[in-house]
A and B are shown apart, each in its own frame.
Chain A
Amino acid sequence: MKSSILAMSVIAATGLAAPAFADKLDDIISSGTLRCAVVLDFPPMGSRDESNTPIGFDVDYCNDLAAALGVEAEIVETTFPERIPALMSGRVDVAVASTSDTLERAKTVGFSIPYYAFENAVVANEGVEMADWEGMRGKTVGATAGTYEAIWLEEKVAEWGEGSFRPYQNQADVFLALSQGQLDATVSTVEVAEANVASGNFPGIKIVDKAPMVPDYVALITLREEYGLINYMNLFINQQVRTGRYDELYEKWVGEGEPADLTVQGVYR
């Protein structure tokens, strides 16, 4: 009698405890849906086509990751600042949203290995004399709030001790302000800068120079403690490069040329 009660309770305890071992990776697979936070005003990484369907490099990466997991992808649009609340509140499983992997942020969220790297360009209003990036000194400059380049630029302005820095809420407002002459210059990824100069939506702007910062490596993010999922994402990124999918998507969304090298010479990840 006693032993049967013990056996029952052991079974019950195991049964109850089992779900606690299911991590996010299991949850995604069993739910059949991978929900990705993607920023959709950040072409060519994320945007919407004429029929309002999300498109872009990040959207395709989310789809690829979902296909690898054998589940459906669900794109959840967020702004840059909303990525983390969306993740923390369980509205999304991962963010495929060009998130720069800073050490400060890694205290809060879990980063995969880099899946893309941006170089940044200095874009100026045509009315402003600017020979190279150092011409930004003392000027009114701005960038999209919460991005790697915004953090870099704000620190530069503080270091120069002159001029002012303005963080606008989205990429479109930055270029609107630049086009109106409210900003003298901005720093944005080369991809975004070229797309915006070419589009003609923002007359009176020109690309001046490359910004002299360390390439902006961006990674997939999820909750900090989800090692299983982070491991899976690392292998996924490795496979994307290995199979040539990385090159293929680069050509599809960015254009001809070599995509950025995702390894850093002389050090392990």
Chain B
Amino acid sequence: MFNYNFRWAQALNSLPRMLEGALVTLEVALLSMVIGIAIAILLTLFRLSGSRILGAIAATWVEIARNTPALFQIYMVHFGLGGFGIHLSPYLSLLIGIAFNNAGYLSENFRGALKGIPDTQTRSARSLGMTPLQAFRHVVMPQMLRISFLPMTNQMVWAILMTSLGTVVAMNTDLYGVTSDLNARTFRTFELFAIAAVIFYLITKTVTLSARLLAARLFRY
């Protein structure tokens, strides 16, 4: 039994505010991907380095990022660090939380991609006189990024959706935060969240489609 009369006018009036929120959502997701990819490459290097300590750091990071809820990770960035006197704004807490999660997952993607690149390539590069880092940077990494490009798109979609967890750290400028604020004021729950869902869908669809177009251009053989 669903006892509800949909009245859209009140909710549609809020559309401009929600679209502004959508921009913030996209911004947080993009930044978290940039940071996440950078850290993931670093973690991959740590694993390849052969150093036990660096390897352990990378392994711990990946284990925590992949095996605990993203909600928990974001909450810990805000309130966990807060307990030690490190106070981050809701925006930063959310960004760092998602970037942490992204880095863990992407690093696993990269590891999988590396398995598809024959070891002989590194050895050939080394025999041409490249340092291990140069061999990675010029020979292995471009292929690794190409192989893991579509999984990266998945992670980007996931990052967009994860921004909705920001409410636990009092984030109120992203799409989900704006929507829940409007909901508290008007109680037009179903209309507002339906609109938010459509906006989320459109954003993620746009991202996946443009990633596919980009891939077709970038990775032509």
Residues in chain A within 8 A of chain B (CB atoms): 80-81, 84-85, 88-90, 102, 104-105, 107-109, 142, 145-147, 150-151, 154, 164-169, 173, 176-177, 180-182, 223
Contacts and interface: CB of A to CB of B under 8 A. Distances in A.
Contact of A145 (B3, B78, B167, B190): B167
Given A80-B184, A146-B183, A182 B2 contact: no
Interface in B164-208: 167-170, 172, 177, 180-181, 183-190
Nearest to B167: A169
A180 B83 contact: yes
B87 A180 contact: yes
15 contacts: A85-B189, A90-B3, A105-B185, A108-B186, A109-B187, A145-B172, A145-B180, A146-B184, A151-B185, A154-B181, A166-B90, A167-B181, A176-B82, A180-B83, A181-B87
A42 to B, nearest CB: 15
B121 interface: no
Contacts of A180: 79, 82-83, 85, 87
B40 to A, nearest CB: 29
A109 B184 CA distance: 12
B213 interface: no
* Interchain residue pairs A-B with the least CB separation, the first 5: A146-B184, A166-B170, A108-B187, A180-B82, A90-B1
A146 B186 CA distance: 10
Contacts of A223: 3
Contacts of A108: 7, 186-188
Nearest to A82: B189
B4 interface: yes
Contacts of A154: 181
Nearest to A151: B185
Given A165-B172, A176-B79, 16 more contacts: A80-B184, A84-B183, A89-B3, A90-B1, A102-B185, A105-B186, A107-B186, A145-B184, A146-B184, A166-B90, A166-B172, A167-B177, A176-B82, A181-B82, A181-B87, A182-B82
Contacts of B168: 169, 173
B10 interface: yes
A237 B118 CA distance: 77
Contact of A151 (B3, B83, B177, B184): B184
Contact of B181 (A145, A169, A176, A181): A145
Nearest to A108: B187
Interface string B107-149: 0000000000000000000000000000000000000000000
B204 to A, nearest CB: 24
Contacts of A167: 167, 170, 172, 177, 181, 184
B150 to A, nearest CB: 34
Contacts of B177: 167
A166 to B, nearest CB: 4
A168 B168 CA distance: 6
A142 B181 CA distance: 13
A153 to B, nearest CB: 12
B21 to A, nearest CB: 14
A107 B184 contact: no
Contacts of A105: 185-187
Given A88-B190, A169-B168, A180-B87, A81 B180 contact: yes
